[in-house]
Chain A
Amino acid sequence: MKIGFIGLGDMGQSMARHLIGAGHELAVWARREASASALLAEGAAWCASPAELAARSELVITMVGGSADVDDLVLRSDGLLAGFAAGAAHVDMSTIAPATARQLAARYAERGIDWLDAPVSGGPKGALEATLAIMVGGDAATLARLQPVLAVLGSRIVHIGEAGAGQVAKACNQMIMVAAIEASAEALHLAAANGVDVAKVRTALMGGSAGSRVLEVMGERMVTGDFDKGVDARLHHKDFGLIMADAHALGAPLPIAAAVGQQLNALMARGGARQDTAALITVLDAMAPQDRRTTE
């Protein structure tokens, strides 16, 4: 299939590479052409604008920053909407607001262009190993048609519902995951306050009902105090901004997510934007006396 790809960050590079590997004719566009150089060397074609990319593609996949970025890529004068022929499709795999996804789907529908919101979970590692969890919102027939392409990128693809539903599922994913990170941090913090070895507590818990992927991966980072690897906390902070705005608009109470969001705010204030979210434990440390800290 002729596929266009925009968003050659950490995850996007791996995803684009898998598509080339699966035999698709890949073209790319990026703000800075330099960010595409590795993929161009591997056979991807270059397009001068999103519109040009859309015009040559049956499917364009985007994996970019947030709602405003996707909105701009679609609606700018040389954007995707201006280039797509009827019958083409845009699959956005970024994490954006459900409302933005719904609006873009409606704009495309007027022109006979298909849309899926297909945000992912699994991080750079999942992208590299093609084991992403993909949560899809949009028309079931569109997903059926594009399923083979998504299967190149992820191992679990679930159709959640109409346009925007994929983003709702992603928001749920983020709420549960970051709350679990905070819960892990608080548990280890309590252990440290008691003067108990936090590494041993984590090892013991991994075998029981509190064991989880978060406690395994993020818990390890909390124990070692190494927050350089992983996912930038600023991205979770951005997600929580969207989630809390949605809760406000719907009049839905999310007491724990709200509290977790404040810990993320504190992490930003402490300069932890580019640390892994496991650094939430340093916010608790900052609230505690020296001898009760797990880090520093």
Chain B
Amino acid sequence: MNIGFIGLGLMGRPMVLNLRKAGFPVSVWARREASLAAVTAAGAVARASIAEVAAASDVVFSCVPDAPQVAEVAQAVADGAHDGLVFADMSTIAPAAARDIAAQLKSRGVSMLDAPVSGGETGAIAGTLTIMVGGEQAAFDTALPAFQAMGKSVTRVGESGAGQVTKACNQIVTGVGVAAVAEAFNFAQMSGVDPARVREALLGGFANSRILDNHGQRMIDRKFTPGFKAWMHQKDLRIVMEEAHAHGLALPAAAATAQLFNALVGRGMGEDDSVAMLKLFEAMSGGAA
């Protein structure tokens, strides 16, 4: 199977390297020459345009910042469309936007999957991403071997948009979870108890979670470098809250958490990892952020 890949950023670059490692021929395109070097060195072939990437591929993947960029890539992919072409977008965008773009591509003969990921840069490098997929079963079956080269857990959740809905659920759980762990640790600290010991104790009970384990440890180590940048989590929660607003659906805990992310970004901690939430709570409790 021939693969195309657009979006060679923090996530996209290691994903391409894993596709190459699994033996797939990969075509790429990027605006900046510098982005290409790392992947062409691993045998990826640079093409002159996104349409040329599409023409040379059975499945084109994209991993870009937000919906406008996905729409732009999709348009260019459609220009290189051929029978059976699948477009799998791995960016995090609004479910409604994913459905719109999929409908436009369908009219031009391209089957689109929305396939956002969880696991961050670490997961992208290790090839252990969780991939949540929405779209037609046949397209999913076509793309599956490539997904498996990039991720450990690959699930087709439902029709178009279902992958993005799942990612939104993921961001609610992780966003509220990070805030809960930071709040608990600040509470422990202010009560004169060592949060590291609290974490250890809690890992044995019902509060045990990946967030408590992984993010909790980084809070204790005061390691605030990303990881997953706070401004990106803020953006993802905006998508969630706008979707909830459009449906008239109450998400009280996510709404409160989104405000905490607003404060993080407003205080200039947007480039920190989301675990910087701890610093925000410390500042609110009289400490210095």
Are A258 and B250 within 8 A (Cβ)? no
How many residues of B are counted as interface, with CB atoms below 8 angstroms from the partner's CB atoms?
Answer: 24
Residues on B with beta carbons closer than 8 Å to the beta carbon of A263: 250, 252
- The residue of chain A having its C-beta at the shortest distance from the C-beta of B270 within the complex is A251
Decide if B255 is an interface residue (CB 8 Å cutoff): yes
- The residue of chain A having its C-beta at the shortest distance from the C-beta of B260 within the complex is A253
Are A250 and B247 within 8 A (Cβ)? no
Are B256 and A255 within 8 A (Cβ)? yes
- Grouping DSSP codes into helix (H, G, I), strand (E, B) and loop, the B interface class, with mixed when no group exceeds half, is helix
The distance in angstroms between the C-alpha atoms of A237 and B256, with both chains bound, is 17
The distance in angstroms between the C-alpha atoms of A273 and B246, with both chains bound, is 13
Q: Please pick, from A240, A254, A259, the residue contacting B252 in the complex, using a CB distance under 8 A.
A: A259
A67 to B: closest C-beta gap in Å:
15
The distance in angstroms between the C-alpha atoms of A244 and B241, with both chains bound, is 9
Q: Please pick, from A241, A255, A267, A268, the residue contacting B259 in the complex, using a CB distance under 8 A.
A: A255
Decide if A261 is an interface residue (CB 8 Å cutoff): yes
Residues on A with beta carbons closer than 8 Å to the beta carbon of B288: none
Residues on B with beta carbons closer than 8 Å to the beta carbon of A240: 245
- The residue of chain A having its C-beta at the shortest distance from the C-beta of B267 within the complex is A251
Residues on A with beta carbons closer than 8 Å to the beta carbon of B267: 251
The distance in angstroms between the C-alpha atoms of A275 and B256, with both chains bound, is 26
The distance in angstroms between the C-alpha atoms of A234 and B122, with both chains bound, is 44
Decide if B263 is an interface residue (CB 8 Å cutoff): yes
Chain A interface size, as a band, is 20 to 34
The distance in angstroms between the C-alpha atoms of A273 and B249, with both chains bound, is 12
Are A252 and B245 within 8 A (Cβ)? no
Are B259 and A253 within 8 A (Cβ)? yes
Decide if A214 is an interface residue (CB 8 Å cutoff): no
Decide if A203 is an interface residue (CB 8 Å cutoff): no
The distance in angstroms between the C-alpha atoms of A88 and B201, with both chains bound, is 71
Q: Please pick, from B234, B245, B258, the residue contacting A265 in the complex, using a CB distance under 8 A.
A: B245
Are A265 and B251 within 8 A (Cβ)? yes
Q: Which of B202-247 contact A (CB under 8 A)?
A: 234, 238, 241-242, 244-245, 247
Are B262 and A259 within 8 A (Cβ)? no
Residues on A with beta carbons closer than 8 Å to the beta carbon of B270: 251
* A258-B259 contact given A248-B234, A250-B266, CB 8 Å threshold: yes
Decide if A269 is an interface residue (CB 8 Å cutoff): yes
A178 to B: closest C-beta gap in Å:
14
B67 to A: closest C-beta gap in Å:
15
Are B245 and A261 within 8 A (Cβ)? yes
The distance in angstroms between the C-alpha atoms of A252 and B264, with both chains bound, is 9
Residues on B with beta carbons closer than 8 Å to the beta carbon of A266: 248-250
A246 to B: closest C-beta gap in Å:
10
Q: Please pick, from A237, A247, A268, A273, the residue contacting B262 in the complex, using a CB distance under 8 A.
A: A247
The distance in angstroms between the C-alpha atoms of A283 and B270, with both chains bound, is 35
A230 to B: closest C-beta gap in Å:
19
Are B249 and A254 within 8 A (Cβ)? no
Closest 10 CB pairs of A and B: A268-B248, A251-B266, A253-B263, A251-B265, A266-B250, A258-B255, A262-B250, A262-B252, A253-B259, A269-B248
Q: Which residues of B contact A (CB under 8 A)?
A: 234, 238, 241-242, 244-245, 247-252, 255-256, 258-260, 262-267, 270
Q: Which residues of A contact B (CB under 8 A)?
A: 237, 240-241, 244-245, 247-248, 250-255, 258-259, 261-263, 265-269, 273, 283
List 19 A–B pairs whose Cβ atoms lie within 8 Å, in order of A's numbering: A244-B245, A244-B258, A251-B265, A251-B270, A252-B266, A253-B262, A255-B256, A255-B259, A255-B260, A258-B256, A261-B255, A262-B250, A265-B245, A265-B248, A265-B250, A266-B248, A266-B249, A266-B250, A268-B248
